[in-house]
Every structure is written in C-alpha cells, then in structure tokens.
C-alpha cells in the first residue's frame, strides 16, 4: 500500500535486530554463506546447521550462533548470514586464494563452508552487530535460528569491557 513506509519498516526492523544481536552475546565472526546451486529455505538452514556442528567440532568446545537466511535479488537465490561465538581461536581466512569452485577445506572458516562461496569477517565489537546487519543484510531475513543458547562465552570479561552485558 505504501512502499516508502515498507522500506522504513524493514530498516527499523534491521536496526532493532542489529541492536538485539549486539547485546545477545560477544561474537567472533560475521559470515556470509552462499550456495553454488539453488536450495530451498529448509535446505539452506539444514546446511547452516550442519556447518555450525562442524565448526563446533573443530572449535573443540561449545559454540553459539545466529544464522539467518536471505533471498537474493536475482532469481531469489538464498544465502545465509551468520554470527558465531567461541570460535575466536579459529582462523577466519587463511590468506590463500583457492581455485574457483573449491570449498569444504579445513584451512580456515572461509574455505570450510561446503556449499559455495563464503565470506568470513572478524567481528568488531566497537562497530557492533548493527553495523554488519545494516551493511550486509539487504532486506528482511526469510528465517533465522539461534544455536547454543544460553551462550557461555569463552571470555565473558572481555564482553563486559566492550559495553555488553555485565
Ligand atoms: Zn582457507
């Protein structure tokens, strides 16, 4: 009915989601996980869950995560966005460029994503989750899930210093 109002609504929703996520837990990385072939929403979330399990196994300790699915512009291709905590000791990116179409490796969190191209950025608490949500999530998420909550952060004292929960 009112497209402008709708856009503002989504922006407000994203802002609120970013603020909420920023206060929810101390995060280590922000990831974008894409798919090399079309998947359903259920399929995308399945791969997300599977990857969180792999990350947890690799981390050697309980981790926690937020995973949201978003539809792309062209053809509605789905991709995932994730915030993950308790993986601060794992490498986000190994620094090596891989051949196109190479994924599911063990060198780093970026190349470990098994279903397509990924991007893994170290989380900057000074910027907060709202920055990542605002910059990398272009519209409303189709679906999202939390894993490993209530979170037990590795370094809860660090989080207090950054202005989070005490
Ligand atoms: Zn790598």
Q: Please write the tens of the pLDDT for every residue from 110-119.
A: 999 999 999 9
Q: In angstroms, rounded to a whole number, what is the distance separating the alpha carbons of residues 54 and 113?
A: 9
Distance 112 CA to ligand 1 centre (A): 7
- How far is residue 62's CA from residue 73's CA, in Å, rounded to a whole number? 35
**Residue 126 belongs to some domain of the structure:** yes
Q: How many helices (H) and strands (E) does the chain have?
A: 5, 5
164 is a domain residue: no
User: 90 C-alpha vs ligand 1 centroid, how far in Å?
Assistant: 11
**pLDDT surpassing 80 at residue 4:** no
Give me ligand 1 centre to Cα 38, in Å. 24
CA of 106 to the centre of ligand 1 (A): 7
Distance 161 CA to ligand 1 centre (A): 31
pLDDT tens across 63-110, in order? 999 999 999 876 678 999 999 999 999 999 999 998 888 889 999 999
Pick from 70, 50, 47, 52: nearest CA to 143? 70
Q: How many domains does the chain have?
A: 1
66 lies in a domain? yes
For residue 165, report the distance from its CA to the centre of ligand 1, in Å: 33
Task: Tell me, yes or no, whether 31 lies in a domain.
Answer: yes
Note the pTM of the prediction, 2 decimals.
0.86
Find the domain containing 30 and state its range. 3-149
CATH at 140: 3.30.70
Ligand 1 centroid – CA 113 distance (Å): 10
Residue 104 lies in a domain: yes
Q: Report if residue 156 sits inside a domain.
A: no
């Amino acid at each position: 009915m009112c497209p402008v109002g709708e856009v503002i609504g989504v922006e407000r929703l994203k802002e609120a989601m970013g603020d909420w996520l920023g206060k929810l837990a101390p995060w280590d990385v922000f990831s974008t996980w894409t798919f090399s072939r079309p998947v359903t929403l259920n399929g995308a979330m399945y791969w997300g869950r599977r990857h969180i399990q792999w990350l947890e196994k690799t981390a050697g300790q309980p981790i926690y995560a937020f995973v949201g699915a978003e539809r792309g512009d062209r053809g509605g291709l789905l991709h995932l966005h994730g915030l993950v905590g308790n993986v601060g000791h794992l490498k986000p990116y190994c620094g090596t460029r891989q051949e196109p179409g190479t994924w599911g490796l063990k060198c780093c969190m970026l190349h470990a994503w098994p279903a397509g191209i990924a991007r893994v950025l170290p989380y900057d608490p000074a910027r907060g989750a709202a920055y990542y949500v605002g910059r990398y999530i272009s519209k409303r998420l189709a679906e999202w899930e939390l894993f490993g909550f209530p979170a037990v952060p590795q370094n809860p004292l660090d989080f207090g210093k950054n202005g989070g929960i005490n």
